[in-house]
Chain A
Amino acid sequence: MIKRATIGEKIFDSAIYFVLAVLFVVYFVPLIYVVISSVTPYSEVARSGGLVIIPKEITLSAYSQIFKQGLIPRALGVTVFVTVVGTSLSMALSVLLAYPLSKQTLPGRKFILQALVFTMYFSGGLIPTYLIVRQMGMLNTVWAMIIPSVVSTYNVMLIRNYFQNIPAELFEAATIDGCGPTRSLLSIALPLSPPVLMTIMLFYMVSFWNTFYAAIYYINDPNLRPLQVILRDILNSVVGNMENVDVNIPSMTIQMASIVVTSVPIILVYPFIQKHFTKGIMMGAVKG
């Protein structure tokens, strides 16, 4: 028998829906504003005091200008490369580090864990890191945006905790059937861990997609600058170069179109990973 909701419960539910609706508007309006501004002629945006809800005229000229110039497509290529290769390397290395650490039998496990945690509290510092990157010949290569941040200790700990929660009996049974450690990882641990793997993958993807400081520190070649640096350049050039008569400042529609181009690809990834997201974090975080 289905229990009817009481008045209190109905009011409570309505309040929740109301709060969610308000939050939806708060988060959605800026996004939709950016998209609408990017397809509205600038003169119309300015005439309306900067806020256009339904444009009278729609133009994709800002997008065509962006792609014609070649700067953003090139930066998009760099960012996609850094994200795809970086995420793949990060996932492989993180799993390879997390799996053995999830085994109680690993010799020196405690020391390795302490060494890992140490890196979460103390960093090597900017200049030593720069010197290492330079010494390794990574300056002015895409690898400088990938290798120095290829493994996140925090993410390794989440994966390790998740692996630890997989019943040991499964691995024991596999070992009896002749599975080695590699096979156990590939055939048992990984197939049982999509939630945490997808979640961590998303973390890495977003982090690589937003690569900014690594590019500022290590990349001098304008052709290797990633999207976020170019976007900041475009947005900043309005304020920084207004009085520099030589610089053709990008119009507001181009600025907004740039934001759309740099943000939408990574936003589109979320819906595909969302179902794993909460579960992955929770299960990795609680050691059972």
Chain B
Amino acid sequence: MNTAVKKCIALFLAIVATANLAACGSDPGSSVPDVESSHSVASSETPSSQAQSETETAPSLPDKPVDVEGMVHISTAVLPDKADNFVEETIREKIKVNLNLTTYGTMEDLQTNLNLRLMSGDAPDFFVVNGRTNLSTYVQEGFLLNLGDYEDRMPNVFAFMGNAKASGMIDGQQYAIAKRPYGFRNGLWIRKDWLDAHGLPIPTTLEDYINAIRIIAASDPDGNGHNDTIGLTGIGLDTMSQFYGAYGVGNHKALVLEPDGSISSPLYEPAFREALTLIKSLIEEGLIDKEFLASNNNILSDKFIQGSAVSFFSAWSALLKPAVFDPMLENNPGAEWIMLDGLQGPYDNYAGQYDDISNSGLYSFSSLLEGNQEKTEAVCRLFDYLAHGEGLDLAQFGIEDVHFTKDANGNYNTIEGTGSQTDFTFIYQLVGRDELPYCQVKFAYAYEEAAFAYNRKRVSTINSIVQNPEWYKAADANRYIEEEITKFIFGNRSLDEYDSFLEVLNSTYQYDKFVQDAQTQYKQLISD
């Protein structure tokens, strides 16, 4: 072979390989086999006799199921195989929607992928939006469909959202379906068997509570010979919620809805400062876990299982899960935990704070649906189906007479042995659920505590509907507030300097102006 031919071969080899590199920008690539074609769209719209019983505007169903892609935030580990997914199968049969859910285990992953797809003009048909700040951004960018225009297609959705509806609105327009909130779940828990052992009653006042954890923690209740039992532990500054409640105020970041309809911040209340003084004294005394600020769910459940604290501040759902509660019982035979009601303090007995108009997820529709009537109808049909009657039952309890039965009074009963088959149906509760009846059926082991927690008296907040104004740097302000509150309660800054803290908060972070803005927003919202 002559030199010229050899050179040509070498050049060819180099060009082939370089082309691979160039093909995919930063990451080299090459041509690939075709993927299966997706999004087969039904071609005709034949009226169906399977009309929705509860909607007057019953839409006609297409002959073939319409492909709909949704992006949701849930661990991949939860979804069953397609073949075992009776929820999607039922949805396909009943409302002719072929639902494909793209799931992400973390909200960060979901948001990364969603942003990428929104920017690339390849958005899924509906998706979870990570909070109102992102919702507002997406609205400005024109990525979302104004759902108000489709209210007649989803009457059950709009009816089901209830109070949560407001948190899906931007500038008076509905851009997200606000999934109903789970309800008030957090509170103080205490070991009742330890109270009994010391002859102490269940605390109803702040003073009784502090005395109880003080006495029990000092008595080496686990009998390990070390004075290592913590009085109270929890996750972050919210651990102190019930202390604030006893002083009649909300937490440091709360925007409180007062009975007269005005909005206020507890930071400006003298009672809040008094509560900080008490918390500081408890930390100094060693009654409160020094690690609570750095704690997380993992650490908390470990401490619960180890039985290392007399009292926990936590949601019932975190502690009573069998995966946590059973090992705790194994390690602490006879342990009995009870949730406390609001503790009567100097000014009140709130059991904490809760945003009753919040949501447990925001679902928006892609503006790419505009112009594709068939698909838009399909997405609306899907959400409306899951917001009432048979569809809501399906997402909550499974299929009637297979997984559950309903008696004449409308009470649900699960069919024995089918419980684990419906573990995943909650993913399809896109509009939410009836919280307490749902817990009664699905989590009977914790229903008592769930119902108790749900109905306690609390400070009402409106944080979920407030949009941060452009001039307000929420992240900076929140960090400043948390850092300074931490300094106050750990004694790194004297509480005598509380007024100067507020001065900086107002002058540098314009927090007072932000609270006023929140008031305006709230008024606007209720007038809408």
Contact = CB atoms under 8 A, between A and B. Distances in A.
B331 A43 contact: yes
Given A42-B327, A141-B32, A134 B17 contact: no
A236 B32 contact: no
A30 B32 CA distance: 41
A99 B75 contact: no
Contact of A103 (B10, B109, B315, B318): B10
Contacts of A232: 105-106
A43 B330 contact: yes
A220 B442 CA distance: 30
A105 interface: yes
Candidate in A129, A133, A237, A244 with the most chain B CB atoms within 10 angstroms: A244
Given A139-B35, A236-B75, A243-B318, A217 B30 contact: no
Given A47-B331, A124-B25, A150-B20, A238 B30 contact: no
Dominant SS at the B interface? helix
B10 A132 contact: no
B16 A96 contact: yes
Contact of A106 (B7, B69, B120): B7
B7 A137 contact: no
Contact of B33 (A122, A143, A234, A238): A143
A20 interface: no
B17 A97 contact: yes
B75 A242 contact: no
Contacts of A141: 32-33, 35
Contact of A127 (B32, B106, B119): B119
A234 B77 contact: yes
A173 B76 CA distance: 59
B24 to A, nearest CB: 5
A7 B305 CA distance: 54
Given A71-B77, A123-B25, A130-B116, A46 B18 contact: no
A97 B306 contact: no
B21 A153 contact: yes
Contacts of A122: 26
Contact of B81 (A70, A103, A243): A70
A151 B327 contact: no
A118 to B, nearest CB: 10
B323 A151 contact: no
A145 to B, nearest CB: 11
Contacts of B306: 46-47, 49
A151 B22 CA distance: 10
Nearest to B73: A240
Interface in A105-163: 105-109, 112, 115-116, 119, 122-134, 136-141, 143, 147-151, 153, 156
A230 B109 CA distance: 12
A93 interface: yes
Contacts of B1: 180-181
A129 B116 CA distance: 10
**Tier of interface size on chain A:** 35 or more
A249 interface: yes
B23 A132 contact: yes
A150 B102 CA distance: 26
A128 B25 contact: yes
Contacts of A129: 24-27
Contacts of A6: none
A141 B327 CA distance: 41
B81 A124 contact: no
Candidate in A46, A96, A130 with the most chain B CB atoms within 10 angstroms: A46
Contacts of B14: 97, 100-101, 106, 108-109, 112
B44 interface: no
B76 A230 contact: yes
Closest 10 CB pairs of A and B: A124-B25, A123-B26, A97-B17, A233-B105, A242-B297, A245-B317, A100-B10, A148-B27, A246-B426, A220-B102
12 contacts: A122-B26, A133-B29, A180-B9, A216-B104, A220-B100, A229-B105, A236-B75, A240-B75, A240-B107, A242-B321, A249-B323, A251-B327
Given A93-B30, A132-B25, A222-B79, 13 more contacts: A70-B81, A96-B16, A109-B14, A112-B15, A123-B26, A124-B26, A133-B29, A140-B35, A151-B17, A236-B105, A243-B297, A248-B321, A251-B323
